[in-house]
Amino acid sequence: MRSRLAGTLVPAVGVILVLAMPFMTTDRYLFKVLTFVGLNLIVVAGLALLFGYAGQISLGHAAFFGIGAYTAGYLTGEAAVPWLVATLVAALLAALVGFVLSLPMLRLKGHYLAMATLGFSEIMTVLFIEARGITGGNDGLRGIPYPSLGSFKIDTPSGVYLLVWITAIVVLVLAANLVRTRPGRALRALHGAELGAQACGIDTGRLRVQVFALSAGLAGLAGALYASAVGFISPTTFSLEFSVLLVAMVVLGGTGSVTGPVVACVLLTLLPYVDALVPGLPREVVSFLQDWEADIAGIVMILVLLFAPGGVAGLLRRSPRVGEAE
């Protein structure tokens, strides 16, 4: 009983805190940093389903993020398509690419699947650089307009922050509920034992395609929001480095949970921006964290795999549940 109460109370307090933020501070930089956290949360929600429940590793989600960003950036900036339409098209296109990509990958598992997504990510990086007519090549796309609905324009850091975080909360609630539904239980079964899941009458192939497309679509949605929030995109943002960071968040977060990856995502995203949260922090500390961001993430990941394979989720869990391999 107590744990159920805590289970609803903690997220509720979190949501209220998030929404009350614009009334508590006017620090533009803080909003910008928190916007990045919200964007990563949207991607991580999809990856948590893919990795934590379906047990599939993707090293290509930065590419889906990029597809969303370039689609939205090109449509709103160059083609003057309304923002909402462009954002939806961007998310759908990323999901479609994810769907098509996952069809041949159905036969792949484990390392082989990871290699295939890695290959896809590299192909997309080249495409982002070479498709200059759309992406602007190495110089990137400039002047992407702020989000707007009709004549209402969201052009303040706090407005963009709210837009991103409301989207992230909706996505997270849906993801958390999805795992309690029939497809969600099927996902867990898939993670536990694919043969067993098949024996229970689950169409595992179809399920894997669906969850891959869903996570790709969420990455595309986050990319589209990123493009309009930042106003400038260029290929290096969508490189393998970002994909690996996303996987680190999910691994650090732990499997079979949405809360764990959320906590890990917030921590890892804030790492290079601690100066936004801790005023008066010496600049040397900040620049050290920025320089060593990848190293710290890597060390933490190794330590987690060695000592706490359950990740944040494992540490949060009060007692080991049945069905969780520890």
Partner 1 sequence: MKTRRRVVAAALVAMLMVTTVAGCSSKGSSGSATGEGSAEPYRIGAIVSLSGSYAGLGTPEQKAIEMEMKRINDAGGINGRQVEVIFEDDATDPAKAQAAVARLLEQENVIAVIGATGTSQTMALRDDIDRAGVPQVSMAGGSVITAEFDKNVFQTPWPNRIVVPFTLKALKDRGLVNVAVISDTGGYGKDGHDLILKDADTAGVKIVADETFNPGDTDMTAQLTKIKAASPDVVLMWNAGKEAAIVAKNIKQLGMSVPLVGSPGNGRREFIEGAGDAAEGFRFAAGKILVPEAYGEGTPAFEVAQKFIADYSFAYGVAPDIFAGHAFDAFLVVTDALKRVEGEATPASLRDAIEATDGLVGVGGTFAYSPEDHNGLTEEELVFYRVDGATWVLDK
Which residues here bind partner 1, judged by CB under 8 A?
27-29, 32, 129, 132, 137-140, 142-143, 157, 230-234, 236-237, 275-276, 282-285, 287-289, 291-292, 296, 299-300, 303-304, 307-308, 314-315, 320
Pairwise CA distance, residues 86 & 144, whole Å: 12
Which residue type occupies 70? Answer: Y
Pairwise CA distance, residues 185 & 178, whole Å: 9
Of the pair 89, 308, the CB lying nearest partner 1 is at 308
Of the pair 49, 297, the CB lying nearest partner 1 is at 297
Output the six-digit token pair for 64.
């889906």
Minimum CB separation of residue 310 from partner 1 in Å reads: 8
Minimum CB separation of residue 94 from partner 1 in Å reads: 19
Integer CA distances (angstroms), 67 to 60, 244, 325, in order:
11, 17, 36
Output the six-digit token pair for 258.
């949405």
Minimum CB separation of residue 79 from partner 1 in Å reads: 19
Of the pair 32, 185, the CB lying nearest partner 1 is at 32
Of the pair 103, 277, the CB lying nearest partner 1 is at 277
Minimum CB separation of residue 234 from partner 1 in Å reads: 4
Of the pair 187, 222, the CB lying nearest partner 1 is at 222
List CB contacts of 258: < 8 A, sequence separation 6 or more.
Answer: 45, 48, 52, 172, 175, 176, 179
Query: Given CA atoms 126, 127, 133, 137 in this order, what sign does their dihedral have?
Result: negative
Minimum CB separation of residue 199 from partner 1 in Å reads: 32
Of the pair 116, 304, the CB lying nearest partner 1 is at 304
Query: Given CA atoms 79, 98, 180, 7 in this order, what sign does their dihedral have?
Result: negative
Minimum CB separation of residue 13 from partner 1 in Å reads: 22
Output the six-digit token pair for 175.
């993801």
